[in-house]
Structure formats: structure tokens, C-alpha cells
Amino acid sequence: MNIQKVAIVGMGALGLLYGEQIQKTLGKDHLSFVMDTARFQRHKTDPYIVNGAPQDFTLMDAAQATPVDLVIVATKASGLASALDVMANLVAEHTILLSVMNGISSEQILTERFGDRNLIYCVAIGMDAMRDGQSLSYVNQGKLQIGILKEEQGPALSALSQFLDRAGLAYTVESDILHALWGKFLLNVGINQACMVYETTYAGALNTPHIFATMSAAMHEVITIAAKEGIHLSEQDFEQYIKILHTLKPDGYPSMRQDALAGRKSEAELFAGTVLRLAAKHQVPAPANTFFFRRIQEMEAGYKN
């Protein structure tokens, strides 16, 4: 396997971040952003800017797409179902699939549609990318944690590692990728929801006692349900992710706060919603996530659009 042609599905913060890095390092011919026909017609002439620099990205109508070597799925959870259809012409027997989406379910959904022989599990961690319209800014690019669950996925993992080296994207290969996946979920359930509900920044969530207490409680509810699901998250994991948050731009804020400012529906269903479903399954309480979920529903009900 040798990755040359890459398609990214999704032009949010992570899609633009990785697209900019790949194109800057490997060249324009290696990358395209692929979308459905209606979205392509709306955005094909849009200008994109990353950290103040204009980007000459190639946008492509999915109806005209052909198979590529790597598909990076970078949509929001609400966009994954339509992304599967966008990907249909991109995926061949050799195509490697990589989801940088939030949550703990996107890989399973991709497997149900395309199989998992060339599926690499992935966690995108430590970035502080913020998108405003067609403009993206970031200080920390973060890293990818990648791994596999089956021996047959080994060649795809090796090919992806070689590609990430060439592209200059930081990554680690995780021996327990499910632990890493749940760790990122732990982080998002806390910081994403806290910043949205309390309308604050990374620094505000970390340094305001009552906000930090609620965020911490929500994260510890994840630790409890993870154990019920056979995933061992510990206090050490909690402390590690809090340390990561302290490395991010203090006045920055995560995607759910960005959604709220733009009047967009957030990924609360992916975070608190998932916690509450699993808490009900295992008959354990989850008051902090119940509070977050209800408050976010109230906020979103007040959006004018």
C-alpha cells in the first residue's frame, strides 16, 4: 500500500487543519475535499484561509469522484449519514478509512457500510483549531492517535504511518486504541459541554471553580460507564486530559461553543446523550450530564434559525 491520493469529507475545523498540512507538504495534486452536489455548488468558489494564508483547495462533486487511497472523515456526527453516500465513489478495495470525528461510534458506522479491513481507529487530540466562516486559526496542531483491532488491518496501519510521516502530521500508534478513543470521549464530555453551557473559554472552564467542578463530575460519569463497558479509564486519565487542556490557547474554545455562537445545533447528543443512554443501560446515575444535556437543549431551542 502506498497512499498518494487523499480525499477529505468535511470542511470543518479538522478537515481544514489536516487539508492545509497535507497540501502544504505533499502538494495540491494529492488532496481534494469531496462533497455532495448541492454543497459543491454552494461552496466551489468560496475562499478559504488558514492562519491568515489563503488556500487553493480542490473541491470536488462526489458524483464525479473516483477511488482514492485514503479517505479522512471529518464531518460532525449529524453529517455522517450523508457522508457515507459522499464516500461511495471514493472507496475501493484498497482504500484506507480514517475518521477524525468525535465520539465512540463513527468507526462502527463506517464498518457497517464499507467493512473494516482497511479501517484505522483514530483519535485527534490536542488541537485548538477554531473556524470562523471560511477562515481557520490554530496554534496547536495536536496529534493523531491511531491503532487497529485486527491483525489484518496491519498493512493499512503501516501505510498510514508512512503517509503521516511524509505529510508531517504528528501521531502515535496506540496498542490499546479503544482506551484512547474513550479517553478523548472523556475529554469532550467535559470541556466541550462546559464551555458551551457556561459560555466560556478553555481558561474559564479550567480556572472557575464551579465550572470545573461540573465539568469534572461529567467526566467522572464517563469513567464509571466506561468500566461497565469494559474500558478501564482511571483518575490518571482524567488528570492527563486536564493537563492537555492547559496546553491549549487560553482564550480559545472547543467546537460546541463555536456551534453555539453560530446558532448551530451542537454534538450534545454525541456526548451527554451517549452518556445518558449508557448510564440507563447500566443503571448508574449521571446527574452532571443530565444537567448539561437539558441546558443545551434549552439553549438550542432558543436559536432563531
Name the pLDDT band for 77 (thresholds 50, 70, 90).
confident
- Supply the pLDDT for residue 78: 84
Name the pLDDT band for 79 (thresholds 50, 70, 90).
confident
115 and 39, same structural domain? yes
- For the ranges 11-15, 132-136, 152-156, 265-269, the maximum mean pLDDT occurs at 152-156
The number of domains in the chain is 2
pLDDT digits (tens, 9 = 90+) for 33-63: 999 999 999 998 999 999 999 999 999 999 9
190 and 271, same structural domain? yes
- Supply the pLDDT for residue 128: 87
Name the pLDDT band for 239 (thresholds 50, 70, 90).
very high
140 and 23, same structural domain? yes
From residue 100, alpha-carbon distances to 42, 271, 273, 280, 284 in Å are: 24, 15, 20, 27, 29
Which residues make Cβ contacts (< 8 Å) with residue 41, sequence separation at least 6? none
Q: First CA to last CA across the chain, in angstroms?
A: 46
Q: 59 phi and psi, to 5 degrees?
A: -105, 145
Dist. CA 285–CA 169, nearest whole Å: 40
Structural domain of 294 = 178-301
Q: What is the mean pLDDT of residues 257-264?
A: 91
More confident residue, 140 or 214: 214
Q: Is residue 72 part of a domain?
A: yes
Mean pLDDT over each residue of the chain, to the nearest integer = 94
Residue 111 pLDDT > 70, yes or no?
yes
Dist. CA 102–CA 254, nearest whole Å: 12
Residue 160 pLDDT > 90, yes or no?
yes
Q: Where do we find the cell 458506522?
A: 109
- Supply the pLDDT for residue 133: 86
Q: Is residue 1 part of a domain?
A: no
Q: pTM for the complete prediction?
A: 0.89
229 and 143, same structural domain? no
183 and 76, same structural domain? no
184 and 171, same structural domain? no
Percent of the chain with pLDDT over 90: 87
From residue 199, alpha-carbon distances to 64, 154, 172, 259, 287 in Å are: 42, 43, 33, 11, 20
Minimum mean pLDDT among 200-209, 258-267, 283-292: which range? 258-267
Residue 174 pLDDT > 70, yes or no?
yes
188 and 169, same structural domain? no
254 and 161, same structural domain? no
Q: Is residue 59 part of a domain?
A: yes
Q: Is residue 90 part of a domain?
A: yes
Domain boundary among 142, 175, 208: 175
Domain boundary among 107, 140, 175: 175
Percent of the chain with pLDDT over 70: 100
- Supply the pLDDT for residue 305: 58
Residue 303 pLDDT > 90, yes or no?
no
Dist. CA 78–CA 134, nearest whole Å: 20
**What cell does 155 get?**
498493512
DSSP code of residue 46 = -
Q: For the chain, give me the number of helices (H) and strands (E)? A: 12, 12
165 and 55, same structural domain? yes
Q: What is the mean pLDDT of residues 117-143?
A: 91
